[in-house]
Amino acid sequence: MSEQSTTERARPEAIKAVPVRHPLRWVSIAVIAVLFAMFVHLLLTNDNFRWSYIFVSYEEGKRGVMFTGPVLEGLRGTLLLTVTSMAIGIGLGTVLAVMRLSPNRILSSVAFVYTWFFRAVPRLILAILFGNLNILWSRIGFGLPFDEQIGKLFGIDDFNGQFYSIRAVDLLAGFVAGMLALGLSEAAYMAEIVRAGLQSVDTGQSEAAVALGMSRFQVLRRIVLPQAMRVIVPPTGNETIAMVKDTSLVAFVPVAGELWFQLNNISARTFVVFPVLVAAVIWYLIICTVLMIGQYFIERHYGRGYGASARAKQRLRNIEVEQGGKITTGEAS
């Protein structure tokens, strides 16, 4: 017994940790640094960029091409088109997602056909198509359906069951046509995004809420959607950024109050192409950068309670509970 008490276990030698070398990382950094320096040198020394044309003045007595009145009006039109198209896409997409998950076969089939069609047709073709829909009708209105056929059935040739109507060429043209093309197309993509978010929530929570007496709408609004937002927000932010860029497609409708349309007009009038393209790139970069920053904070808001940091905080709270409400750093002397 005494020998066991006097004999101490030999302390192991300290481990000499040798850091792993990564020579390819330094080679990659050097290559990136050289490429970056070449790019900056190109921007500063190549006169074909014509920075004064972009920022200072592109014609005598006029501001730089980025800040002219028509371009700023086009910028406002692009932002408005993005907001309205995404509002249509998110609202209609949410309805389509709920329809797709409905046990009613008719509703789910209609939602499936809608998403199939609008996801299959390119947005450029949709924009041009909606800009020419006024070929199909002379007037578009609200009222009794099949009013002409009903009138002929009862021998009334001039029967008109419409309460309000407008000429199709006035409605389905320009901004409205572009907004409908982008918004209805976006709804198909948002339907799949929202559907994936709703299906990411455990069905047991919905069943428990229904058992407590909550209606299906209350379950969706108070239980499912708040948790699904963590899955829905990131791709929705990406879709919003993509929508900003896709607004340039409505120049083929055409929509005059749009950023790329106005910049392209200046290029066609002055026969200066490359600086105008650079101005367009700068404006789209500014808009998308602001949206990316907003997306980051929204994701962080809805991502609270998830991830490695949240799990670590939960473990700390569990330890506090086990130790009587506080974490002890050492034994009491």
Left (φ > 0), alpha (ψ -120 to 50) or beta: where does 271 sit? left
Which pLDDT score is estimated for 96? 96
**pLDDT grade for 89, boundaries at 50, 70 and 90:** very high
Q: Return the amino acid letter for 19.
A: P
Question: What was the pLDDT predicted at 124?
Answer: 93
Q: pLDDT at residue 333 above 50?
A: no
Look at residue 158 and tell me whether its pLDDT is greater than 70: yes
The predicted-structure confidence for 224-235, as pLDDT tens digits, reads as follows 888 888 899 999
Average pLDDT over residues 139-161: 75
**Mean predicted confidence (pLDDT) in 154-167:** 76
Q: CA torsion angle for 21, 25, 30, 35 (degrees, to 10)?
A: 180
**Sign of the C-alpha dihedral, residues 212, 218, 222, 223?**
positive
% of the chain exceeding 90 in pLDDT = 54
Q: What is the pLDDT of residue 114?
A: 97
60, pLDDT greater than 90: no
What share of the chain in percent tops pLDDT 70? 88
**Residue the block writes with tokens 């994936």:** 196
- Is residue 266's pLDDT more than 90? yes
By the 10 Å C-beta count (0-12 exposed, 13-18 middle, 19+ buried), 314 is classed as exposed
Task: List, for residues 105-145, the tens digit of each pLDDT value.
Answer: 999 999 999 999 999 999 999 999 998 988 888 877 777 77
Determine the pLDDT at residue 325. 55
Question: Residue 332 — very low, low, confident or very high, per pLDDT cuts 50/70/90?
Answer: very low
For residues 92 and 146, what is the distance between their CA atoms, to the nearest angstrom? 26
95-99, 138-142, 299-303, range with the lowest pLDDT: 138-142
Q: Considering the entire predicted model, what is its pTM? A: 0.80
What is the pLDDT averaged over residues 210-227?
86
**pLDDT value at residue 312:** 62
Mean pLDDT within 200-214: 86
Identify which of 161, 124, 160 has the alpha carbon closest to the alpha carbon of residue 254. Answer: 124
At residue 3, the pLDDT reads 53
pLDDT number for residue 329: 46
92 vs 61, more confident:
92
Residue 311 banded pLDDT, cuts 50, 70, 90: low
Contact 199, 101 (CB under 8 A): yes
pLDDT of residue 330: 45
Question: What is the number of alpha carbons within 13 Å of residue 129 lying toward its C-beta?
Answer: 12
